[in-house]
Amino acid sequence: MGLFSASRSADTRSFEKLLVEGESIQAVYKLRIDQICFTNKRIIFFDNKLFSRKKARVFVPYKSIESYAIEEAGLFDLDAELMLMTKSRTYQLEFSKNTDMIEIQAILANHLI
Protein backbone atom coordinates (compact mmCIF):
# COMPACT_ATOMS: atom_id res chain seq x y z
CA MET A 1 0.00 0.00 0.00
CA GLY A 2 1.55 3.32 -1.03
CA LEU A 3 1.29 6.51 0.99
CA PHE A 4 1.26 9.84 -0.82
CA SER A 5 0.84 13.54 -0.17
CA ALA A 6 -0.80 15.75 -2.81
CA SER A 7 -2.08 19.11 -4.03
CA ARG A 8 -3.58 20.20 -7.39
CA SER A 9 -1.22 20.30 -10.38
CA ALA A 10 -1.51 21.62 -13.92
CA ASP A 11 1.28 19.41 -15.30
CA THR A 12 -0.38 16.65 -17.35
CA ARG A 13 2.53 15.77 -19.66
CA SER A 14 3.57 12.56 -17.89
CA PHE A 15 0.02 11.17 -18.22
CA GLU A 16 -0.90 12.24 -21.76
CA LYS A 17 1.16 9.44 -23.36
CA LEU A 18 -0.64 6.86 -21.17
CA LEU A 19 -4.15 7.71 -22.36
CA VAL A 20 -6.18 5.45 -24.63
CA GLU A 21 -8.45 6.58 -27.43
CA GLY A 22 -11.42 8.53 -26.06
CA GLU A 23 -9.78 9.10 -22.67
CA SER A 24 -9.25 12.60 -21.30
CA ILE A 25 -7.65 14.03 -18.18
CA GLN A 26 -10.05 15.56 -15.64
CA ALA A 27 -7.62 16.47 -12.85
CA VAL A 28 -4.02 15.91 -11.78
CA TYR A 29 -2.73 16.24 -8.22
CA LYS A 30 0.91 16.56 -7.26
CA LEU A 31 2.09 13.83 -4.92
CA ARG A 32 4.99 13.92 -2.48
CA ILE A 33 7.02 11.70 -4.83
CA ASP A 34 4.95 11.80 -8.02
CA GLN A 35 1.38 12.54 -9.20
CA ILE A 36 -2.11 11.06 -9.40
CA CYS A 37 -4.34 11.58 -12.44
CA PHE A 38 -8.13 11.28 -12.66
CA THR A 39 -9.33 10.65 -16.22
CA ASN A 40 -12.81 10.06 -17.58
CA LYS A 41 -12.10 6.28 -17.52
CA ARG A 42 -9.67 5.52 -14.67
CA ILE A 43 -7.25 6.70 -12.02
CA ILE A 44 -3.51 6.58 -12.77
CA PHE A 45 -0.74 6.98 -10.22
CA PHE A 46 2.74 5.76 -9.40
CA ASP A 47 3.16 3.52 -6.36
CA ASN A 48 6.66 4.41 -5.21
CA LYS A 49 8.33 2.41 -2.50
CA LEU A 50 9.95 4.91 -0.15
CA PHE A 51 13.30 3.13 0.21
CA SER A 52 13.36 1.32 -3.11
CA ARG A 53 14.17 2.13 -6.71
CA LYS A 54 11.04 0.29 -7.81
CA LYS A 55 8.23 2.42 -9.18
CA ALA A 56 4.98 0.74 -10.16
CA ARG A 57 2.56 2.49 -12.48
CA VAL A 58 -0.96 1.75 -11.21
CA PHE A 59 -4.09 1.94 -13.38
CA VAL A 60 -7.42 1.62 -11.55
CA PRO A 61 -10.49 1.64 -13.81
CA TYR A 62 -13.48 3.23 -12.08
CA LYS A 63 -15.50 0.06 -12.72
CA SER A 64 -13.09 -1.94 -10.51
CA ILE A 65 -13.50 0.37 -7.49
CA GLU A 66 -15.94 -1.25 -5.06
CA SER A 67 -15.91 1.58 -2.54
CA TYR A 68 -13.91 4.54 -1.34
CA ALA A 69 -13.47 6.50 1.86
CA ILE A 70 -12.27 10.04 2.49
CA GLU A 71 -10.79 11.10 5.80
CA GLU A 72 -10.58 14.86 6.25
CA ALA A 73 -7.59 16.53 7.90
CA GLY A 74 -8.09 17.10 11.60
CA LEU A 75 -6.68 19.26 14.34
CA PHE A 76 -3.67 17.03 15.02
CA ASP A 77 -3.65 14.97 11.82
CA LEU A 78 -2.63 17.38 9.06
CA ASP A 79 -3.28 14.99 6.18
CA ALA A 80 -6.45 14.11 4.34
CA GLU A 81 -6.70 10.57 3.07
CA LEU A 82 -8.44 8.77 0.22
CA MET A 83 -8.82 5.00 0.34
CA LEU A 84 -9.77 3.18 -2.87
CA MET A 85 -10.99 -0.37 -2.34
CA THR A 86 -10.96 -2.91 -5.16
CA LYS A 87 -11.50 -6.68 -4.97
CA SER A 88 -7.77 -7.33 -4.91
CA ARG A 89 -6.29 -4.36 -3.05
CA THR A 90 -6.80 -1.21 -1.03
CA TYR A 91 -4.88 1.89 -2.08
CA GLN A 92 -4.25 4.53 0.56
CA LEU A 93 -3.54 7.99 -0.86
CA GLU A 94 -2.48 10.72 1.53
CA PHE A 95 -3.20 14.31 0.53
CA SER A 96 -1.96 17.51 2.16
CA LYS A 97 -4.31 19.46 4.39
CA ASN A 98 -5.00 22.16 1.76
CA THR A 99 -6.19 19.70 -0.91
CA ASP A 100 -9.86 20.14 -1.82
CA MET A 101 -11.16 16.69 -0.89
CA ILE A 102 -14.72 17.71 -1.88
CA GLU A 103 -13.44 18.13 -5.45
CA ILE A 104 -11.88 14.66 -5.37
CA GLN A 105 -15.06 13.18 -3.89
CA ALA A 106 -17.09 14.84 -6.67
CA ILE A 107 -14.89 13.30 -9.37
CA LEU A 108 -15.25 9.85 -7.80
CA ALA A 109 -19.00 10.19 -7.20
CA ASN A 110 -19.51 11.26 -10.81
CA HIS A 111 -17.96 7.99 -12.02
CA LEU A 112 -19.13 5.58 -9.34
CA ILE A 113 -22.70 6.54 -8.51
Determine the pLDDT at residue 56. 82
DSSP secondary structure of 49-88: -TTSS-EEEEEEEGGGEEEEEEE---SS--EEEEEEEESS
Identify the band that residue 2 occupies on the pLDDT scale cut at 50, 70 and 90. very low
Please give the model's pTM, rounded to 2 decimal places.
0.82
pLDDT in tens, 5-39: 446 676 788 899 999 999 999 999 876 667 889 99
Domains of the chain and CATH, by start: 6-112 (2.30.29.50)
